[in-house]
Amino acid sequence: MSLPGSPRNSSSVPVVGSAESLVTRVLTEQGLGEYCDPEFVRNTSREMQEALDMTQEQMDRAAHQLMVQERNIKHAQNQPTQVGDVWTVIGRYPSSPAPPFPPASGPTAPQAVIAPSTAAPSAKSHHRTKRKRKPVLV
């Protein structure tokens, strides 16, 4: 058995530091190589790690898996390597403030329709109207 980064598997991508290597590569591929100073890359990797609620080891492992997957696809298709979908590799998506709604289907699915207002807003439309209070029995 050969572990990633072991001498018996010399063509492997090292796991330790993979997250920072991937950040550097993405910036360079997107024409932002001028921002690849070590401090910026380290801070960016740390921010991603915190946002994804992952340990440094988990980030490095996910980046390593992504780079290995890309390399395998490149060899299989004989095409240049491009950055893939990191969310697929790590097996989860970042948390969002509100969960997404599933797509509605079928004839009974509620439909939301927003129609433009045709009436001009009245001057009173933004004021509250007073409600009559109900008598309180004592």
82-126 pLDDT tens trace: 555 555 555 555 555 444 445 555 555 554 445 455 555 555 555
**Torsion of Cα atoms, 8 then 12 then 13 then 14, to 10°:** -10
Give the integer Cα–Cα distance in Å for 59 and 23: 11
pLDDT computed for residue 93 by the predictor: 54
Higher pLDDT among residues 41 and 81, named by residue: 41
Look-up: residue for tokens 């401090």? 39
What pLDDT, on a 0 to 100 scale, did the predictor assign at position 131?
61
Ramachandran angles phi, psi of 86, nearest 5° = -60, -30
pLDDT value at residue 58: 92
Residue 90 contacts residue 64 (beta carbons within 8 Å): no
Rounded distance between C-alpha atoms, residue 109 and residue 111, angstroms: 6
Report residue 10's pLDDT band, with 50, 70 and 90 as the boundaries: very low
From CA 55, how far away is CA 38, in angstroms rounded? 19
User: How far is the C-alpha of 126 from the C-alpha of 49, rounded, in Å?
Assistant: 46
pLDDT on residue 8: 45
DSSP code at position 78: T
Q: What pLDDT, on a 0 to 100 scale, did the predictor assign at position 83?
A: 56
Token output for 132: 């009559």
Q: Is the pLDDT of residue 11 over 90?
A: no
How many Cα atoms within 13 Å fall on the side-chain side of residue 68? 17
pLDDT of the residue at 128: 57
pLDDT digits (tens, 9 = 90+) for 23-67: 899 889 999 888 889 999 999 899 999 999 999 999 999 989 998
